[in-house]
Amino acid sequence: PVPIRNAFPAGYRVPVDVDSTNEMMDMFIELIGPYPFDEYGIAVVRGFGFALENQTLSVFGPDLVYEDVLVHELAHQWFGNAVTPADWGDIWLNEGFATYAEFLWAERRFGRDFVESQFRGIRDAINGDGSFSPPGAPPRDALFNGGVYIRGAMVLHALRLEIGDDAFFETLQTYYERHRNSTVRTADFTAVAEEVSGSQLGDLFDAWLYQESIPEFPGS
C-alpha cells in the first residue's frame, strides 16, 4: 500500500536485498500499524559512510545496503520519525526498537528458535562490557553506544517473554497509535505495557533499563 522509490548513483550495482523492502513494509504494517507517511525509499550516496533514517527517504552509504540495515532504517519511520523521544536520554526508544526490528525480520526468515539463541549468545558475550551502558541511562558523551541498540532490543525481548506475544504486540500497536506524531519518554512506553498486560512491570524495566548487569531472560 506504500509507494517505494529508490535513488542510486549511476553505475551502482543494486544489491538484491533491496527487493525485500516491500516484505519488510508488510511486516511492520502487520505487527505495528499503518505506515505513517505517504511514501518510502532509500537514496544511496557515494562518500556517505553510514545509514540515516531521514523521513520517507533513508540515506545509505554504498556498502551498507543489506537486509539488517534496510529493516533497521525502515523501522525508524515508525519509531523515531513518527514517535520521537522528547529527550536524548530516551534514545533507546529509537535505536532499541529499530534493532529489535532486525530480530523480528530474522525471526520471520529463520524462526523463533534462531532469535532466542541469538539473544542469549549476545547477552553472554556483552554482559559486563562497559561499552554497552544500561539503555535507559546512556552517558552524555556516548549517547549512541551499543547499549541503546542491542541492550535496548533486549529490553523489548525480555518484555515479550514476560507478558507473551499477544500482549507484547498489542503494546507496540497501542504505543504507536497513541503517540504517533508526538514526543515520548520511557515512562510513556512502560505505562502502555502495564496497561495492556495488566501487570506491574516496574522491576522488569528497572533491571533491564537501568542496571549495569544484564539480567537473565524471563523463562531462562
Amino acid at position 131, single letter: S
219: left (phi over 0), alpha (psi -120 to 50) or beta: left
Q: How many residues does the chain have?
A: 220
* Residue whose C-alpha cell is 548487569: 213
> Is 102 noted as a catalytic residue in this protein?
no
Residue 58's SS3 state is strand
Question: Is the distance from CB of 27 to CB of 104 less than 8 angstroms?
Answer: yes
Rounded to whole angstroms, the Cα distance separating 197 from 192 reads 8
Distances (CA, A) of 42 to 5, 25, 57: 7, 13, 5
Catalytic, out of 53, 73, 102, 162: 73
Contacts of 134 (CB under 8 A, 6+ apart): 147, 151, 209, 210, 211, 212
Q: Could you give the residue numbers annotated as active site? A: 73
